[in-house]
Structure formats: structure tokens, C-alpha cells
Amino acid sequence: MKQYENLLKLILTGNPITILQEPEITGKFNELLKHDLIEITEEKIVLTQKGRDILNIPLFASPTQEQEIEEFGEKARIKGKTFYLLSLFLLMISILFVFAAHF
């Protein structure tokens, strides 16, 4: 991830020489070219529209979103436990009816 961050900083400066001098970043650079996320124009490297769109996607949730995700997970766990207990209760009732029908 750190390599992509360094590469992104170098791309935003637009200097291809620095990128091509670092072998560990060159592979990542070629991947971005292959997927049309960047292009080389007039001795500068620029993000394509597709690259800018992807750059605007947040990689990490905000604190509010993290709290919402955590609350949703807690509600799902509670519902899962409730469903499990209700299923177990109904199974026990069914077994009781089967035994009661035989006696």
C-alpha cells in the first residue's frame, strides 16, 4: 500500500523520470497504465478520468460510518442469537408434541 501512495505522489507531480528510476514502483506504474488509470502526455504523467474517479473513492470509512457499521453488526448478531433461540424453542416444542402424540 505504501508503494501505491508513493507512486500516487509521484504521479501527481507528473515527473516520469523519478518513477522509472525506482524498480519497485515501476511494476505498479505499468499496472496503472495497463488499466488506463494514468497516461503519459507531453513528457508528463497524468491521471485519466477513470483514475481520478477511482482516486475520489474513499478507502477508509469515516468515524461515523465505522460506528454505523459496528451498530449494524451488533444488531445482526442479536438477530442471529434470537433466531437461533427461537429455532431451538420450536424444535423442543415439536419434539414434545411428537412424544405427547405417542402416549
* β-bridge mates for residue 47, sequence order: 38
Is the pTM of the predicted complex or chain greater than 0.75?
no
**Mean pLDDT for back-to-back runs of 10 residues, the chain (103 residues):** 73 78 81 86 84 72 69 78 88 90 77
Residue 22 pLDDT:
79
Inter-residue contact 14 to 7 (CB < 8 Å): no
The residue type found at 60 is: F
Residue 101 pLDDT:
84
The residue length of the chain stands at 103
